Structure formats: structure tokens, C-alpha cells
Structure 1
Amino acid sequence: MERTTRYSKKREAILTALRQTDAHPSAEWLYQTLKVTHPDLSLGTVYRNLLFFQQQGTVQSVGVVNGQERFDADTTPHSHFVCTCCGAVIDLPKIPMDANLNQAVQSQYGFQVERHELTFYGKCKTCMQSKHFEEDVLS
């Protein structure tokens, strides 16, 4: 028997907050942001709803950055850049996703590839311009 999903103001608020930012937030960030307007919101509710959204295909995980899983409401295939200094996660929509890569992996290794993700790691422009980064480079 299939379970029906009831409407929830908190669930709607979590998804709306996620869709209104390009910061690729963590559950903790969403919780802190929404706690002001939803004082009875729990961190567990945020985690459960993020899992629900992932299972529905509404949200995707971008991976763990600085110990926190980060989420993206844009589920279209696109690449990301993760700053190893400040933890920013930035969409790279202009980097083309290579469909031939899926076929190459299938041919070479015999896997059935459904999709792939491409993530770049390094220092963002802001961190490169900061004094902290300059000191790291000089030492």
C-alpha cells in the first residue's frame, strides 16, 4: 500500500528556502534560517524532509563540505566548484556535461552508468584575494 504524503507548512518552507538560495546550504543552515519564522521546527524535521526531497528527486546532495552535507534544489545536470578554504559551493552551469563520458566508462569497465557528477576543488576568487591566502602561498 502506497503511503500518501500530507501537506506540511514546514516541508514547504524548507523547500522554498532551498530553492531561494544558490549557497547550497546544509541542513543546519536551513534550520537556523527557518527557526526564526518556525520556532517549533526541529533539526530532525529538516533532515527528514531533505531525505524525502532527495527520494522524490526534488533536491540533490552536492556532497560533504567541511563536515556538513550540502544540498542543491537545481537537479539539472551541472558541475560544481567547492572552495577548500571557505567551503563555498558554486554552480558551474557553463561547463558542459560530457555525455560521451558515461559511454566511455560503460565500454571500458562494463558498468551501467546512469549519471555522473563533476566537482572541482580549489580556492574561490574571494579567498584568493584575501590576505590569508597570500600568506599561505608565501609560506
Structure 2
Amino acid sequence: MEKASRMTKQRKLILDVLRSTKSHPTADWIYNQVRGEMPNISLGTVYRNLGVLKEKGEILELNYGSSFSRYDCNPENHYHLTCTKCERVFDLKIPIQKQLVKEVMDIDGHKVLDHRLEFYGICKECKKQEVN
């Protein structure tokens, strides 16, 4: 376990690439960016390191039930909007609705550890293109 916790060159580069973008990229996109600086890195290494970074709480994995996940360098719980036209994912700067967790626990008696609320719509850039 000690080895997995160490900040390797590959892991640092992957994290730097994630932090350098406001998008929520796929592992393939990250892999292509990292290869520019580290040509011998494999896609499997990128996936393994993304998994370690997720386990350490340094990044979020956004899995929308599709065949690929997107990654977010902001590990704090926050909401997203996915554009149904361009498929980009945007962070929303609205407060987490903690009362929803309380309602679920009070009404159904479940123990809620976390929640994720996703919004789907048309981003402002795509909305501008619709007008033109």
C-alpha cells in the first residue's frame, strides 16, 4: 500500500494535466495529453493512477453510465451540468442541498453517505449558436 500512496512522476503529471483544464476529461484525453511529456506511458498506467488519485480523494470520477468516465480535479462535492449538444461537463457554483440528504434519511430511514445531483441542458456556448 505504501507504493500506491507515493506521488510518482506519472501520477503527478496526470494530476497536473487534470488541474490545467476546466473540462472534465476522459482517461483517453488525459492519456493523450500526458504522452506529450511522457511518450512511454501506457493507457493502463493512466487508468491505474486515476484510480489511486480517486481513492486518495484527490479527484472525482464522474460516471454517467456510459462506456467511459470523466474526471474532475475538484474533489469537493459539487453539482455539474452536462450539455446535451456538445457533451461538455460544467461545474455549477451552487450550494450543496444538504436538506435533500436529511429528507431521504427522515422519510425513508436510509443512511445517506453522499449524494450527486446532475443537471442536463444546453450550455451557454451552444445556446448562443442556436440563436444565430
Provide the TM-score with structure 2 as the length reference: 0.89
Aligned to 2:68: 68
Aligned partners of 1:87 and 1:32: how far apart in 2? Answer: 19
Paired-residue identity, %: 37
Structure 1: runs of 5 or more not aligned? 135-139
Pairing 1:125-136 to 2, within 5 Å after superposition: 125-130=124-129, 133=130
1:7–1:60 CA distance, 2 compared to 1 (3 A): closer
Say whether the 8 Å CA contact 1:82–1:89 is kept in structure 2. yes
Q: How many residues align?
A: 130
Letter in 2 for 1:105: V
Deviation string, structure 1 residues 99-119 (Cα, Å, up to 9, x no partner):
111110011111101111121
Letter in 2 for 1:115: D
Say whether the 8 Å CA contact 1:65–1:87 is kept in structure 2. no
Aligned partners of 1:7 and 1:56: how far apart in 2? Answer: 11
Letter in 2 for 1:16: D
Aligned partners of 1:58 and 1:120: how far apart in 2? Answer: 23
User: Secondary structure of the equivalent of 1:51?
Assistant: helix
Letter in 1 for 2:88: A
Structure 2: runs of 5 or more not aligned? none
User: Secondary structure of the equivalent of 1:71?
Assistant: strand
Shift of 1:14: 0.3
Aligned to 2:97: 98
RMSD: 1.9
Shift of 1:67: 4.0
1:33–1:17 CA distance, 2 compared to 1 (3 A): same
Say whether the 8 Å CA contact 1:66–1:87 is kept in structure 2. no
Shift of 1:65: 8.0
Aligned partners of 1:66 and 1:111: how far apart in 2? Answer: 27
Determine which structure has more spread, i.e. the larger CA radius of gyration: 1
Letter in 2 for 1:91: D
Pairing 1:100-139 to 2, within 5 Å after superposition: 100-130=99-129, 133=130
Deviation string, structure 1 residues 10-51 (Cα, Å, up to 9, x no partner):
111001111221101110010011111100011111111111
Aligned partners of 1:22 and 1:74: how far apart in 2? Answer: 10
